[in-house]
A and B are shown apart, each in its own frame.
Chain A
Amino acid sequence: MIVMKDITKIYEMGSAQVFALNGVNLEIDDGDFLAVMGPSGSGKSTLLYTIGALLTPTKGNVTIDGKSIYRMKPRQRAEFRRKNVGFIFQTFELLPYLTALENVVLPLYLSGVTISKHEDIAEEALRKVGLADRALHKPTELSGGEQQRVSIARGIVNNPHILLADEPTGNLDQKTGNEIIQLLHRLSDKDGLTVIMVTHDPEKARLSDKVLQMIDGRIVENEQRIYRKRR
């Protein structure tokens, strides 16, 4: 379970202070599929990175499964991230000089998984996203949808229980975007992943368990969908 208590993130812009997050309180249950919506600059991505142990808030406390992640030392926090969090980005953020398989292996290397197991585990992750046959291709040889699938495989390869997606369909056409959303739902349903997805598109948020609306660093609406079949 993710608990955010009174989270504030202030950016100093010269003499002015910008509140990227302003007193956010939020609880997310394990296995939830949460969509975060709101206009640009409303703090959606900041919220995502704060949950992902990547952005230290100015004030407040984030606990994940009872562990206060910003009270950890930087190395412990990095380890926590390796084990528990997967990231997916709008522009995929694959390393261009590595093949799809090698990109997926990267988190395994960082986690110190035995080298002999790297390929098998990464291939399994690529199979889960339906891309096993493109394993040896470089990102430039893959379509946008395929690149995002590689990115998802990289996000789940270490078996995290939280997957954070920052506008994962933002660079994809409608059809491919829907396929990616379906894939994320499938992973959430099948593996019990907690998925938090930032999106602009209400259509993409439609199937989520919860939808957060954010404006100016605050949650203005926390809508619980009742029609979605709970696990």
Chain B
Amino acid sequence: MRAITLVLKNFSRRKSRLILSSIGLILAIVVIVSTFTIANSMQIQIGDEVEKYGPNIIVTPKSESISVPYGSVVIGNLTIYESSLEKIYTIPNRGNLRTVSPKIYGQVDYGNSSLLVVGMVSEQEAKLKKWWNVEGSLPQNDTNQILLGSVVESFLRSPIGSTITINNMTLTVAGILSETGSVDDYSLFLPLHTAQMLLNQPNSVSVIDVGAICKDCPVEVISQQIMDALPYVKATPVKQAVETRMKAIEQTVNFSLLLGSIILAVGCAGIMNTMLASVHERMKEIGIFMSLGADDFHLYKIFILESLILGLIGGLIGSFVGLASSTIMGPLLMKTTISLLEIPLYIIPLCIVLSVIVCVVASLYPAWRASKIDPVQALRTV
């Protein structure tokens, strides 16, 4: 016989009490899991919303002269080597980089006019500019496809599928950008490498827009890290957007931590209470064990093993019920949709471990009380 056999056989006798005592624990874990899940979804949602303000770090070459203005950012006539882009991914906080969108800007003559050309990596740029509404599609990388800003489109009158020729390069219109009210309306977007060829500036990038999310570190730190990694650039943090995002995230995390701790404390007290009642109920059994030669170590082992199993079952059920209930409660209470795919999976083992730890800690005092029982008194109880 093993201790576990003894505990499980004992459990089978006290099913109803076990279910009742687990309910409190399961409930606590359910609330913790749903709070974390909802908070996590809110964080993602907040992140997505704030991202609409654009990138939060703008990386430009260190430059004194001014030649090309683009939106609120001023681009120098120097460029960054595209090959050095890789170095951004070597910074200590590289895990916090959400989007890295390199771009090249230039002007080309078209007939009597001059067009603003923007080379970009479509999927990265689309992640940063979620407000973009594109008719047709974005230009595919390393093709001659282009995206026209609304003003450019009305000037060129080139529908989707038509071609235009600039500097002896034939370009196909893949998509048209709806009016944004920004400089994008006046731009002609190309895949990065195609733009580099068109502008005759191979391996060059004018600006890198970076979207970074970091709960524990200020965006200034990431900017500095980028400047350390690429000594010839200037990384400017766009503070306002970042600060709003950080504050919102911090508040939700603090709120869920506080709520979680209170529930955990209540759950812990509940388990301790049930365990103490169980020690009292099983007084005679403890007396029998002692008469057979059990010492405090044996009793601790049995009680802790019981609480461990209880914690494991409670944590497991609580985690899954919590995940399920958050998908229902999230939209109802927080107006946030929960996608089970976005939930960090570590929450399940974490909650099970937490539940086990709480149960074991809550069982220590009852186990100690059991070990201090007078065996003769215990044997005389009815």
Residues of A within 8 A of B (CB): 46, 49, 52, 54-55, 74-75, 78-79, 81-83, 85, 87, 89, 93, 95-98, 102, 105-111, 115, 118, 154, 158
Set of chain B residues within 8 Å of A105, measured between Cβ atoms: 1
- Output the least CB separation between A46 and chain B (Å): 8
Residue contact A54 to B13, C-beta cutoff 8 Å: no
Which of B12, B285, B295 is A79 in contact with, Cβ under 8 Å?
B295
Set of chain A residues within 8 Å of B277, measured between Cβ atoms: none
Residue contact A115 to B288, C-beta cutoff 8 Å: no
Known A93-B284, A98-B9: A87·B292 in contact at CB below 8 Å: yes
Q: Which residue of A lies closest to B297 (CB)?
A: A75
Which of B12, B13, B284, B293 is A82 in contact with, Cβ under 8 Å?
B293
Q: Which residue of A lies closest to B10 (CB)?
A: A97
Set of chain A residues within 8 Å of B335, measured between Cβ atoms: none
Which of B3, B9, B293 is A107 in contact with, Cβ under 8 Å?
B293
Residue contact A49 to B376, C-beta cutoff 8 Å: yes
Q: Which residue of A lies closest to B8 (CB)?
A: A97
Which residues of B, 285-330, contact A by the 8 Å Cβ criterion?
285, 287-298
Question: B2 an interface residue at 8 Å Cβ cutoff?
Answer: yes
Q: 18 additional contacts, CB 8 Å, given A75-B296, A93-B291? A: A52-B291, A54-B291, A54-B375, A54-B376, A75-B295, A78-B290, A78-B295, A81-B293, A82-B293, A95-B285, A97-B12, A102-B1, A105-B1, A109-B2, A110-B293, A115-B1, A118-B1, A158-B293
Which residues of B, 140-190, contact A by the 8 Å Cβ criterion?
none
Residue contact B13 to A78, C-beta cutoff 8 Å: no
Question: A97 vs B288: C-alpha distance in the bound complex, in angstroms?
Answer: 14
Residue contact A110 to B9, C-beta cutoff 8 Å: no
Known A102-B1, A105-B1: A154·B292 in contact at CB below 8 Å: yes
- Output the least CB separation between A168 and chain B (Å): 14
Question: A18 vs B376: C-alpha distance in the bound complex, in angstroms?
Answer: 16
Residue contact A110 to B294, C-beta cutoff 8 Å: yes
Set of chain A residues within 8 Å of B241, measured between Cβ atoms: none
Residue contact A82 to B292, C-beta cutoff 8 Å: yes
Set of chain A residues within 8 Å of B13, measured between Cβ atoms: 96-97
Q: Which residue of B lies closest to A155 (CB)?
A: B292
Question: A106 vs B9: C-alpha distance in the bound complex, in angstroms?
Answer: 13
Question: Digit string of B268-290 for contact with A (CB within 8 Å is 1, else 0)?
Answer: 00000000000000001101111
Question: A92 vs B292: C-alpha distance in the bound complex, in angstroms?
Answer: 13
Set of chain B residues within 8 Å of A81, measured between Cβ atoms: 291-293
Residue contact B379 to A109, C-beta cutoff 8 Å: no
The SS class assigned to the A binding surface is helix
Question: B6 an interface residue at 8 Å Cβ cutoff?
Answer: yes
Which of A46, A74, A115, A118 is B296 in contact with, Cβ under 8 Å?
A74
Which of A75, A98, A102, A107 is B292 in contact with, Cβ under 8 Å?
A107
Question: A102 vs B294: C-alpha distance in the bound complex, in angstroms?
Answer: 16
Residue contact B296 to A93, C-beta cutoff 8 Å: no
Set of chain A residues within 8 Å of B289, measured between Cβ atoms: 106, 110
Question: A158 vs B1: C-alpha distance in the bound complex, in angstroms?
Answer: 15
Set of chain A residues within 8 Å of B298, measured between Cβ atoms: 110
Q: Which residue of A lies closest to B377 (CB)?
A: A55
Question: A10 vs B293: C-alpha distance in the bound complex, in angstroms?
Answer: 24
Residue contact B1 to A54, C-beta cutoff 8 Å: no
Q: Which residue of A lies closest to B288 (CB)?
A: A93
Known A93-B284, A93-B288, A97-B13: A115·B293 in contact at CB below 8 Å: no
List, sorted by A's number, 11 A–B pairs whose CB atoms are closer than 8 Å.
Answer: A54-B291, A54-B376, A78-B295, A79-B295, A81-B293, A82-B292, A95-B288, A102-B9, A110-B289, A111-B293, A154-B292
Question: A11 vs B6: C-alpha distance in the bound complex, in angstroms?
Answer: 35
Question: A98 vs B9: C-alpha distance in the bound complex, in angstroms?
Answer: 7
Set of chain A residues within 8 Å of B2, measured between Cβ atoms: 109, 115
Q: Which residue of A lies closest to B2 (CB)?
A: A115
Question: A61 vs B78: C-alpha distance in the bound complex, in angstroms?
Answer: 98
Residue contact B379 to A89, C-beta cutoff 8 Å: yes
Set of chain B residues within 8 Å of A158, measured between Cβ atoms: 293
Question: A55 vs B287: C-alpha distance in the bound complex, in angstroms?
Answer: 12
Q: Which residue of B lies closest to A88 (CB)?
A: B291
Question: A185 vs B291: C-alpha distance in the bound complex, in angstroms?
Answer: 22
Q: Which residue of B lies closest to A107 (CB)?
A: B292
Q: Which residue of B lies closest to A77 (CB)?
A: B295
Which of A54, A82, A89: most chain B Cβ within 10 A? A54
